[in-house]
Amino acid sequence: MLPNESRIGLRTWVVLFLVIFPTFFFSSAISGAEPRVAAKKIFMREKVRKMFYHAYNNYMTYAFPHDELKPLTKTFTDSLSELGNLNLEHLPQNYNGSALTLIESLSSLVILGNYSEFERAVIWLSENLTFDVDARIHLFECNIRVLGGLVSAHILATDPTNGLDQGIYKNQLLNLAEDLGRRFLCAFDTPTGLPYAWINLKHGLMENETTETSTSGCGSLILEMGSLSRLTGDPRYEAAALRALRKLWSMRSPLNLLGTTLDVVTGEWLEYSSGIGAGVDSFYEYLIKAHILFGKDEFWDMFKSAYLAVQKYFRHGPWYHEADMRTGKATYWQLTSLQAFWPGLQVLVGDLAAANSSHREFFHVWERFGVLPERYLLDREMLHPTEKYYPLRPELAESTLYLYRATKDPWYIEVGESIVNSLNIYTKVEGGFASIKDVTTMQLEDHQHSFFLAETCKYLYLLFDDSFLVNKNFIFTTEGHPLPVRSDWHEKLPEIYTPTNWTCIKNEKQGKRASAMSLQICPADILSPRRGNYVHGVESICHVPDSRADHRCMSDVECGVESISCRQRSCSIAGYCGLWLYVI
Ligand SMILES: *[C@@H]1O[C@H](CO)[C@@H](O)[C@H](O)[C@H]1NC(C)=O
Ligand SMILES: *[C@@H]1O[C@H](CO)[C@@H](O)[C@H](O)[C@H]1NC(C)=O
Ligand SMILES: *[C@@H]1O[C@H](CO)[C@@H](O)[C@H](O)[C@H]1NC(C)=O
Ligand SMILES: *[C@@H]1O[C@H](CO)[C@@H](O)[C@H](O)[C@H]1NC(C)=O
Ligand SMILES: *[C@@H]1O[C@H](CO)[C@@H](O)[C@H](O)[C@H]1NC(C)=O
Ligand SMILES: *[C@@H]1O[C@H](CO)[C@@H](O)[C@H](O)[C@H]1NC(C)=O
């Protein structure tokens, strides 16, 4: 715990507004200032639109209502029962899919402005989708893809600005989501409250089901299940997810590190090594996003401790390795493509410099191979022998979007262009977009993952055209489904949180807000109260100086600017960045 950092929740908001909604402040970006960039953005947006429809129309033609498209053979796979199921065990005998890719496309259709297709999909799903199927599914995957897709689409469908005929929509998607949520609940019936990783949608828990799960598997359910509770008024979903999250957090080591896999019955760790990639990634993401969506300080307190531990024990310059949760000693020196989401998360918390430098390294790897390989061994400077694939993953595009929205640096548009071009060159086939089996040969694999439509295309589209986000407060789930930040989902903020006299830019036009707090951003150059001079502003809620191996600061300047007060933060005698606000 850093000194002088007790009231940090507020700062998240400020940074959040700065990062996610800078269109308030930079809405002139499209017009005037940078005509060349503006023209490129329109050109690229149309290219991404074509990509989405190429993927979507081929799915609808050759695979719907099955789960995912096999673009090389123009056929389908009922993959909801295969997700996370590496050994393909207990596959259902009589399961014909749940229109997974259509569900995953719903929010993308709205963002692309295709309300008629959205409406058609909603009607089809409400008449035809059922979860009363004898299929064993992965709770985490089904939660982020199906429950998240439905909950997000329900919220978009009830928003009259999305052009859906309100007479047609009668909460059908929410009813489906609730039906699915109820089926999830039996997974949480364990001595620890940690959910089983697998359940059968029709029959619940299978006999002899494995008790092994992962940190992300049981620790990133709160956004979707919490939203379902807020929408239905039934608190059980949120309570179950929260209980699991609290239990998981209680299992952290004294270093505030978690492992990767654990046993839901005994509550013991199975794999003590962890990092920020597979099996853990969205756990961190959901702590900060839960704080943003539900406003509880509890989430923030967990996030802050967890984030600082990551920066302290996993980071090596711009790279992140894995470490043993008990000792903090490095275990595996590997770059995995899932880690590329981390810079986006760092933008959310305001650590822009660290985000920028890691993002650049990931992009270098992308440029070297043409796409991001799944796993690269940093210590041996070689690709992992069996994980040379690139399954159309979105994480680099996602981080690029966050960094562009925070900085407006047109360089990120070029990164986006490069990603789009690679996808078209290497993965586009007549029947859709195919995963890459081996990045050294660019040999293709017959699978178009649903997240290509839910995330990859969506983040790229928003990079080039963010009009969907103008004047709206959204967070995106780990599957790219937008959830609005609403004041009535927040606990009432105590008086002490309410700012009274901020001297920074305020958005005057803003009407109803999502929180009690004003929008503001710190000017690029701010006055340092201690020095009486102007310093370049760097917002960070828990800034950890990049420059030194132990991440401790030596001077105030290294600590950046506190984004509530826009004042420079101070470096304590112990070497921690603190709040100037509370020092005076
Ligand atoms: C799945 O499709 C097959 C072949 O069309 C059909 O025989 C079977 O009844 C379907 N299963 C279900 C659960 O609808
Ligand atoms: C919406 O999607 C459908 C299916 O791909 C397409 O036929 C239609 O032209 C699209 N409409 C708009 C406005 O893009
Ligand atoms: C439901 O599915 C059936 C069979 O595919 C189809 O005939 C029907 O039109 C669907 N309902 C809607 C509203 O599209
Ligand atoms: C569960 O495991 C026990 C002991 O290994 C075995 O006897 C039993 O057949 C298993 N049940 C099922 C349904 O696989
Ligand atoms: C990101 O890094 C590049 C290269 O070091 C630098 O030129 C740029 O100013 C940085 N941007 C931010 C926002 O830190
Ligand atoms: C806000 O602070 C500024 C600078 O400290 C001061 O000049 C101004 O009077 C204050 N405004 C209010 C409403 O307290």
Query: How confident is the model at residue 574, as a pLDDT?
Result: 60
CATH for the stretch 33-543? 1.50.10.10
Tokens of 559: 């600590």
Predicted pLDDT at 314: 93
Strand order in the sheet with 375-377: 334-336, 375-377, 382-383
pLDDT per position as a tens digit, 398-414: 999 999 988 889 999 99
The pLDDT score that the predictor gives to residue 572 is: 63
514 pLDDT above the threshold of 60: no
Helix axes 342-349, 281-294, angle to 10 degrees: 30
Kindly state the percentage of the chain with pLDDT values over 70. 78
- pTM score, two decimals? 0.82
Per-residue confidence band for 520, with pLDDT thresholds at 50, 70 and 90: very low
Task: Render 335-382 in DSSP notation, one character per residue.
Answer: EEGGGGGHHHHHHHHT-HHHHHHHHHHHHHHHHHHSS--SEEETTTTE
What is the rounded end-to-end Cα distance, in angstroms, of the chain?
20
pLDDT at 238 over 50: yes
pLDDT in tens, 548-568: 555 566 777 666 654 444 556
The number of the ligand nearest the C-alpha atom of 502 reads 6
Quick check: CB of 123 below 6 Å from ligand 3? yes
Whether residue 80 has pLDDT greater than 60? yes
Closest Cα partner for 561 from 516, 517, 518, 530? Answer: 530
Looking at the chain, the whole-number percentage of residues with pLDDT higher than 90 is 62
Q: What is the pLDDT of residue 554?
A: 75
Cα separation of 225 and 236, whole Å?
Answer: 9
Which candidate in 68, 117, 119, 374 is catalytic?
Answer: 374
Question: At residue 44, what is the residue type?
Answer: M
Which ligand is closest to the CA of 504, given by its number?
Answer: 6
Angle of helix 222-232 relative to helix 281-294, nearest 10 degrees, comes to 30
Ligand 4 atom nearest to CA at 208? 1
Q: Which amino acid is at 547?
A: S
Q: Residue 548's pLDDT is what?
A: 56
Taking each helix axis from N to C end, the angle separating 115-128 and 172-185, rounded to the nearest 10 degrees, works out to: 50
Q: Provide the pLDDT for residue 93.
A: 82
Decide: 128 in ligand 1 pocket, CB within 6 A: no
Ligand 5 atom at shortest distance from the alpha carbon of 356: 1
- The rounded mean pLDDT for the chain is 82
Start-end of H helices in 423-562: 450-451, 457-464
3-state secondary structure 123-188: HHHHHHCCCCCCCEEEHHHHHHHHHHHHHHHHHHHCCHHHCCCCCCCCCHHHHHHHHHHHHHHHHH
479 given a catalytic annotation: no
- Residue 139 contacts residue 184 (beta carbons within 8 Å): yes
- Show me where the domains of the chain are located: 33-543
Q: Is the CB of 117 under 6 A from ligand 2?
A: yes
Q: Average pLDDT, stretch 208-220?
A: 95
Least confident of 242-256, 265-279, 368-382: 368-382
Q: Tell me how far the alpha carbon of residue 117 lies from the centroid of ligand 2, in angstroms.
A: 6
Give the pLDDT of residue 511.
29
Q: Region 414-435: what's the mean pLDDT?
A: 98
Question: 395: closest CA among 491, 470, 479, 487?
Answer: 479
